[in-house]
Amino acid sequence: MNEKFKPNSCTFEDGINRINSAVTASKLKTSLKDKISTSQDADLKDLLDSLAVTNIPDNFQKWQLPFYFDRAQFYISVGNPGSIVPEHSHNDGDGIRYIVSGSIEYNGKSLTTGDWMYIPKGIKYSFSVGKLGVTMCYCYQCCCA
pLDDT of amino acid 115: 98
pLDDT of amino acid 49: 85
Lowest mean per-residue pLDDT among 51-55, 83-87, 141-145: 141-145
- Of residues 110, 6, 119, the one with CA closest to residue 57: 6
Domain coordinates of the chain in residue numbers? 12-28+42-140
Instruction: Identify whether the C-beta of residue 97 lies closer than 8 Å to the C-beta of residue 115.
Output: no
pLDDT of amino acid 48: 84
- Outline where 32-129 has alpha helix (H): 42-50
Give the architecture-level CATH label for domain 12-28+42-140: Sandwich (2.60)
- Of residues 51, 46, 27, the one with CA closest to residue 143: 51
pLDDT of amino acid 12: 87
pLDDT of amino acid 46: 79
The region, left, alpha or beta by phi > 0 then psi within -120 to 50, assigned to residue 31 is beta
Question: pTM surpassing 0.85?
Answer: yes
